[in-house]
Structure 1
Amino acid sequence: MASSDSESEVSTAYAKEGYSEKGEMQDNDAPAEPKSTSKYQTDDAADDEVLDEEELKLYGYGSCRPKHMQLFHNSKGFLFAISLYCFTHGMAIGLFYIMISTIEQRFNLTSRQGASISRSYDLFGMLFVMFVSYFGEHGHKPRLIGISAIIFSLGSLTFTFPHYLAGPYNPEEGPIFDTCDVNRTVTDQCVGDDDNLQKYYAVFIVAQMLHALGASTIFNLGLTHIDENVTRGTAAVYTGIFWSVAVLGPSVGLVAGGVYLDTFVDVFADNIPITPESPFWVGCWWLGFVGTSFFAAYNAFPLLGYNRRLPGYTKAQKKRRNETRLGCQFQSQSKISQFPKAVLALLKNPTYVLITVGVIAEAFIIAFVSVFGPKILESLFNLKTINAALLAGLSITPAGIIGPLLGGYLLKRYKMTVSQTLKFCAYSEDQFNLTASCNSLCKCEDEYDPVCGSDGIMYYSACHAGCTVEKNETKGAKEYSECACIPPVDGSLEDYGTAKANRCGTDCAYLIPFLVVAFFSFLFTYLVPVPYITATMRCVDYSQRNFALGVQTFFNKGLGVVPGPIAFGALLNRACLLWEYECDGSQNCWLYDNSQMTIYLVLMISACRLVSILAFTGAALTYKPPKDGAYQEDGNKALYDVEMTGLS
């Protein structure tokens, strides 16, 4: 009896607040059974509007849909939830890029294996995104994104397994030969590696596969779900916010990774025999991935509570214009038999194809500058590696955050059509011999550890500078004397010069202007994503928006993100003056011809920018708007007449 009274009270409370017992919003003034079962009335009056059935459902899980949880049941709540997931995803990417060299050292992986772990994420992503975007178009998008967050969480957790399985790290610090020593015994540095640790290489690949599968829903299902539940102008602003968070995540991951690397890999170890300055130091590379695993699983919880439709869906759909390019209508039903036809329909849309070409060109620039930007600054302005990375981040990250926000605002402020959006996209954007007579007897190792001589010239290492005496460290920098290859300073009574660890400083006055120009260049580059995403979803059939973004991502990764750094790296190799060879046969360049590097950099960026401008201009010229009045919703065959002035 008590139970019955309790249920009655709950029913009464829901009724007073305007909700049914099933947790659906109800209009107390409306008749119990509306005459029309259609999602839309032909009358444009607001009073005759019939809401979507999914839009009436409350936020929650099964029968648990309490009133206080409805605070998140709106487009802003969904944007916040998916942005948190996107931020976590970006953090994992940033952590990986700063940790990969430490992972190689800890598990004796070669540079090629480290690079393949990195590339596997993009390769698996290309495979998954096509099918997830195609079959997810008519699925429960928030639920699919929530499930993918759980998969991503498992990927980050799997990434930490080698740390637990390999056991404690026992550094065996051997002698470090900095100075010239004619009595040194030269040993083969490529002998003695523990190949047993390389078995964990496969674990990292599996973890990256799970990462790729988990991330395959973020940038297509997430953006299309936002687009279909809010008005056009609001969608542009929300996309800008989402994209800015996507840029912020990796930056935070890089900073957090630097902090973790100052902590020893075995956080509970006692009596650590080495310091972070030792070349045998291994930082806590795994701890950040424990965090991303937890946060991704935590992000899944709010995402799984959303329904297929958000409040405001009906209003947004009534104001939506049909902007599918004339002659490119296609009714996708997400059936496997229709997959080839769906791909062909996109490839026969010249506007879509040209937008994709422009996107690839922009991705090419962002990809190789993200990888080589710090190295370019380091070489051009003779900076320390950590300072070059910091300055590169300070010039690129703010542009990546401000650009999408500004792009989304401009689209909403000026209510740009597809043609105007595409026009906006178009106009936004010799070998060294290290052995000399002065160091021929020094038996120097091939480890690159530059020092700055008292003559202002940088040397490969203290040993190659012929230095025989190492002084005490001053402010963290080692000093050397009796350097046979360095002439004495004028007026000095010494026979030889001195040297200090690290590169020589530079008096170049163009560093700040260079960073300012780089900031504005990337600001215009990051203005493009929101307009091109918006144009992509508008120029294809409504039922193909999600698949169009998926196919675009496939080509974006396959022809832009993956080959971009490879192509530019091959070009930079032609400007290399000094190579260091690894045990696996790979090589690293330590010194570049700056004039050649600058020429290659300008040529590459100019070529990509020209392709981008021509592609977006061509897309604007080939776009043909449909006849006024036609509206097609979510793949259904019914057409509705709507007012064409309903932009917001």
Structure 2
Amino acid sequence: MHIKTQMAAGEGPRMPDRSTKTTMGTEDMHERKVSVEPQDSHQDAQPRGMFHNIKFFVLCHSLLQLTQLMISGYLKSSISTVEKRFGLSSQISGLLAAFNEVGNVSLILFVSYFGSRVHRPRMIGYGALLVATAGLLMALPHFISEPYSYDHSSSDNRSLDFEASLCLPTAMAPASALSNGSCSSHTEAKHLTMVGIMFAAQTLLGIGGVPIQPFGISYIDDFAHHSNSPLYIGILFGITTMGPGLAYGLGSLMLRLYVDIDRMPEGGINLTPKDPRWVGAWWLGFLISSGLVVLASSPYFFFPREMPKEKHEFHFRRKVLASAASTASKGEDLSSQHEPLKKQAGLAQIAPDLTLVQFIKVFPRVLLRNLRHPIFLLVVLSQVCTSSMVAGMATFLPKFLERQFSITASFANMLLGCLTIPLVIVGIMMGGVLVKRLHLSPVQCSALCLLGSLLCLLFSVPLFFIGCSTHQIAGITQELGAQPGPSLFPGCSEPCSCQSDDFNPVCDTSAYVEYTTPCHAGCTGRVVQEALGKSQVFYTNCSCVAGNGTVPAGSCESACSRLVLPFIVLFSLGAGLASITHTPSFMLILRGVKKEDKTLAVGVQFMLLRVLAWMPSPVIHGSAIDTTCVHWALTCGRRAVCRYYDHDLLRNRFIGLQFFFKSGSLVCFTLVLAILRQQSREASTRTTVKSSELQQL
């Protein structure tokens, strides 16, 4: 999902390196036609190690971008776990997920200016080391915080776990571990420190990612054979698109492990991954990803600033050129291949002569000129809507699945990594294949975008109805029209001294009612039963349960768990259909703006996507999710993580936001198609008039 944001860094700022690329590429082609063999033999005679081989650079850069996307995508895979561990609302966690865009957007424009003025491989290496440092900083709060306490008993006396949530007389109730005074001065300050470290890490992650893709792509484009460069870049994107999928897969594995696996208490813990209090080892994935980034960054300090330009093209490429109908068609084909380079050469030759201040002054004029172009503006707005949908989905879909269908965080990540993201990648590839194979015109590209958006919207409609309401929670929810009964009446636990902020849910399976703690169910005893190598905790003598019965620990099972697969299949198909619009919409921009503005227009496009979509969308989705909460946990008197959501509201607002952005994309593509058809009619009318005038003459 984060692929689009990464492409922003890669496609936009390639302009400064084009001057050498254009001249070298044209001369290469001319000289190869005259005499290929002498050049090849001369090139082969030069001593070349693997660090002077552009193919090896492509391999290294593919692996680096793959691991970089693993770090940036891993937080999204563990967002609900981080919320529980540090008591964050979805709005704050969404802001945290979007904060890496702040550092990126603040510096990405300068990549267009610096271009080939710097040692690009080394700058990539330094950026990768910053990314790895950011990953280590993200894991740091785990090591400097206290061990995770899933109840309010003392962390030094684990034997109190057994009695912390039972119904006990006031005199026998365990005291809170922290007084209100120490809570406000000590715990809150430490909480702010942990959150501040993570925000700083996300900012550093964005800054470190700035030079990686743009400098890498321009380096490949400068020193690869002009016929091989598109293939190399295609391989690069093909490998890096697996990064988000691997991030969710890594999250699925890590969240099966307990958060304090490195400092387990004596006697172990009494939680399973299905327990709503379970927190997985979210920090371990950051350490693994950071180590991989360090390994992938090490070769960049050995690549030269400039390497000999690749002289060979692949044999199958030669056969394609050789099969052209005639020499004239060959010349026409080659000139069309070099046309984009010539178009960009003007700006490429100007940019290196500008000072940084002059460059900053020129950029707003290009920005305003492009924003006044109706096709450019509408296509960018449609991409903003699509990217907003993708950003919200990537950040909060795992959490939505957890809450809506009562599945574990690990299983939710596995569904997203194994189904949704692969279908998105297939959709992007299909869009590119259709544009290339069918040679689609701008009108046809807009029609394909409109069709993809319409089908995506239609697949979203059934999602509003796949789910079920929140089950009854004593003292919190109650079915509409239901008469108050003993099972929902909180007075049955009045003799108990229950802590209002404690959380250890139990389920009365006979009445399908959940209590936030055994104390609130009036339970006075606790037993552990061993079966098939697993221990199951039961609470006994519960006064709020019919017949003073026994209840099992844990939340009530959702009646909708079986619907998670139909839901994720429909959602993934819709996301895949929406991603078909990626390549044709990009072609609409390339063919729609002025020739001299193409290079910077792409940079403007992706900068707007970051500012208008990838930065605000996670915060918007998180805020919408927070409005559906019906019971908040309180930490030091402040609202922390949400314990229970209204499932109907959660589904309607989360899917409704996705539906809103999809509708916006559909409207924009409809207007683009209407404008292009009108322009096509006007062009054909002018042609007809001119031909009739010539005939009259």
* TM value normalised by structure 2: 0.67
Matches within 5 A, 1:441-452: 441-452=496-507
Query: 1:117: Cα distance to partner?
Result: 4.8
Whichever residue aligns with residue 139 of structure 1, its letter is S
Aligned residue number for residue 251 of structure 2: 254
Aligned equivalents of 1:599, 1:166: Cα separation in 2:
35
Q: Does 2:611 match 1:611? A: no
Change (3 A) 1:566 1:447: farther
Q: Does 2:116 match 1:148? A: no
Conservation of the 8 A alpha-carbon contact between 2:74 and 2:248 = no
Structure 2, unaligned stretches of length 5 or more? 1-22, 148-154, 272-276, 322-332, 454-469, 477-488, 684-697
3-state DSSP class of the match of 1:478? strand
Conservation of the 8 A alpha-carbon contact between 1:419 and 1:620 = yes
Q: Does 2:385 match 1:361? A: yes
Q: Does 2:629 match 1:580? A: no
Q: Does 2:508 match 1:453? A: yes
Matches within 5 A, 1:427-576: 427-429=451-453, 433-434=475-476, 436-440=490-494, 441-455=496-510, 456-474=512-530, 475-488=534-547, 495-506=548-559, 509-540=562-593, 544-576=597-629
Matches within 5 A, 1:176-575: 176=161, 177-182=164-169, 183-187=172-176, 191=183, 192-193=186-187, 195=189, 204-218=198-212, 220=214, 229-230=226-227, 238=235, 241=238, 244-255=241-252, 257-258=254-255, 264-265=261-262, 273=266, 275=268, 283=281, 285=284, 287-298=287-298, 300=300, 307=307, 318-320=335-337, 331=347, 333-334=350-351, 335=354, 336=356, 337=358, 338-429=362-453, 433-434=475-476, 436-440=490-494, 441-455=496-510, 456-474=512-530, 475-488=534-547, 495-506=548-559, 509-540=562-593, 544-575=597-628
Deviations along 1:293-333, one digit per CA (max 9) or x if unpaired, are 41342363587677496557999973338689x9x998463
Residue from 65, 69, 73 that aligns with 1:90: 69
Matches within 5 A, 1:123-138: 123-132=102-111, 134-136=112-114, 138=115
Conservation of the 8 A alpha-carbon contact between 1:103 and 1:109 = yes
Higher share of residues assigned helix: 2
Aligned equivalents of 1:535, 1:389: Cα separation in 2:
34
Stretch of structure 1 that moved more, 561-570 or 198-207 = 198-207
Query: 1:619: Cα distance to partner?
Result: 3.7
Deviations along 1:96-118, one digit per CA (max 9) or x if unpaired, are 44567887899999998866654
Whichever residue aligns with residue 214 of structure 1, its letter is G
Conservation of the 8 A alpha-carbon contact between 2:629 and 2:644 = yes
Change (3 A) 1:562 1:556: same
**RMSD over aligned Cα atoms:** 4.8
Structure 1, unaligned stretches of length 5 or more? 1-36, 489-494, 629-648
Conservation of the 8 A alpha-carbon contact between 2:380 and 2:609 = yes
Whichever residue aligns with residue 433 of structure 1, its letter is G
Query: 1:480: Cα distance to partner?
Result: 1.7
Conservation of the 8 A alpha-carbon contact between 1:355 and 1:619 = yes
Aligned equivalents of 1:197, 1:588: Cα separation in 2:
13
Whichever residue aligns with residue 466 of structure 1, its letter is G
Query: 1:436: Cα distance to partner?
Result: 0.7
Q: Which structure carries more relative contact order (alpha carbon 8 Å, separation 6+)?
A: 2
Aligned equivalents of 1:608, 1:312: Cα separation in 2:
46
Aligned equivalents of 1:200, 1:64: Cα separation in 2:
55
Change (3 A) 1:243 1:451: same
Change (3 A) 1:360 1:331: same
Query: 1:84: Cα distance to partner?
Result: 1.5
Aligned equivalents of 1:256, 1:583: Cα separation in 2:
33
Whichever residue aligns with residue 166 of structure 2, its letter is T
Aligned residue number for residue 636 of structure 1: none
Query: 1:389: Cα distance to partner?
Result: 3.8
Identity rate, percent: 17
Aligned equivalents of 1:483, 1:554: Cα separation in 2:
59
3-state DSSP class of the match of 2:433? helix
Deviations along 1:342-364, one digit per CA (max 9) or x if unpaired, are 32233233322222111111111
Whichever residue aligns with residue 490 of structure 2, its letter is A
Query: 1:614: Cα distance to partner?
Result: 2.3
Aligned equivalents of 1:272, 1:105: Cα separation in 2:
20
Whichever residue aligns with residue 251 of structure 1, its letter is Y
Aligned equivalents of 1:393, 1:42: Cα separation in 2:
44
Query: 1:517: Cα distance to partner?
Result: 0.8
Matches within 5 A, 1:41-56: 47=33
Conservation of the 8 A alpha-carbon contact between 1:157 and 1:289 = no
Stretch of structure 1 that moved more, 87-96 or 145-154 = 145-154
Conservation of the 8 A alpha-carbon contact between 2:89 and 2:642 = no
